[in-house]
Amino acid sequence: MPRTRPAPASTPGTTSAPPPRAEPVPRKLIVDTDPGIDDAVAIFLAAASPELDLLGLTTVFGNCATAVATRNALILLDVADRPDVPVARGATDPVASTYLGAIPHIHGTDGMGDGGELPAPTREPVAESAAEFLCRTVAEHPGEVTILAVGPLTNLALALRLRPDLDTLVDQVVVMGGNALVPGNATPAAEANMLNDPEAADVVFGARWPVTMVGLDVTHKANLRGADLDRITAADTPAGRHLARALPLYRAFMERTNGLDGIYTHDPSEVAYLIDPTAFRTEAWPRRGRSGWRPRVSAAARRGPTSATPTTRPRPRGRTGRWSTCASTSTRPAWSTWSCAGSADRPGVVAVE
């Protein structure tokens, strides 16, 4: 839900009409991404949403190599008619290991479904690295920028290395990744983004900024069904035509491996959360503190799993600790997250319901 800017106050002693409703203030947003077919859906949604002020895309390895992800990010912004949004190229390898490699059987060799030749991007990425872009842009808007990370968390960890106080300047970090109470999708234990750089994830989840984790527990419940995809790809728009080219491979993979007539909306789910958090059900928990509740990302032999092991179940803290209304109908999925927020020494992390 967009924030609001208060309406001007009336002059004392005068009679006036009721003040107008507060004006929505778009949320300033940077998307750290590895496009990726579901990334494309998320980027189109973010680029078209008046609730969001898209300040830039930063790219990282994951679904494809960083060079491919950067090209795809530029192409997607061309399709979305957003030449005002810069793209900064990010890390090519994890902070403590090497890139595990692309997943062409899901996203294609071009990261966009191998549905035909992609147009060349009309511009180049900015000269700054992704970490430098994150540090500069956040510093220009202290306390206002949300970082949405839908790939491995390497760029965020590198940005913290460049500017250790960055986690005090960001409004919040929203992460597509992790699996609190369900199996992984890259290994039985790990979700793909966490597996690709568990050391970076450990840095990001341990920093001082508020973190909202929307993991597989949520995104495996939030599906675009076949009929929904047919309507989207039939649209005679640049985005509709692009997705008609990109989605068949991704859709076929979901049907073959999960028996799903449609797709999991991994990355679009987080954009939906930012547009309207009230459509999600959240609960706040500490992630550090005396309770012993310590969500962590393991970088040991079983790389990549996110886990939370409470010794005692802590009391929800603050307003975000209450369950909010969840919109759930036969045509709208029940979006749900379990938001761990607020302790004496750390802001929150979201484990999923």
Q: What pLDDT does residue 283 have?
A: 63
Q: Are 108 and 249 in contact (CB under 8 A)?
A: yes
Q: What pLDDT does residue 290 have?
A: 25
Determine, yes or no, domain membership for 11. no
CATH number where 276 lies: 3.90.245.10
Token reading at 236 = 């005679």
d(CA 322, CA 91): 38
Determine, yes or no, domain membership for 346. no
Determine, yes or no, domain membership for 122. yes
Question: Is 197 a residue of the active site?
Answer: no
What is the chain's pLDDT, residue by residue, as a tens digit (353 residues)?
Answer: 555 555 445 455 555 566 666 667 899 999 999 999 999 999 999 999 999 999 999 999 999 999 999 999 999 999 999 999 999 999 999 999 999 999 999 999 999 999 999 999 999 999 999 999 999 999 999 999 999 999 999 999 999 999 999 999 999 999 998 887 788 888 888 889 999 999 999 899 889 999 988 888 888 888 889 898 899 899 999 999 999 999 999 889 989 988 889 888 889 999 999 999 888 877 665 543 222 333 434 333 345 555 544 333 333 322 222 222 222 222 223 333 333 333 334 444 443 44
Determine, yes or no, domain membership for 71. yes
Q: Which of 34, 38, 110, 217 is catalytic?
A: 34
Determine, yes or no, domain membership for 52. yes
Question: Is 220 a residue of the active site?
Answer: no
Domain membership of residue 166 as a residue range: 27-289
Determine, yes or no, domain membership for 324. no
pTM of the model: 0.80
**Other Cβ atoms within 10 Å of 12 Cβ, number:** 5
Determine, yes or no, domain membership for 204. yes
In total, how many domains does the chain have? 1
Q: What pLDDT does residue 18 have?
A: 65
Determine, yes or no, domain membership for 318. no
Q: Which of 107, 220, 242, 266 is catalytic?
A: 266
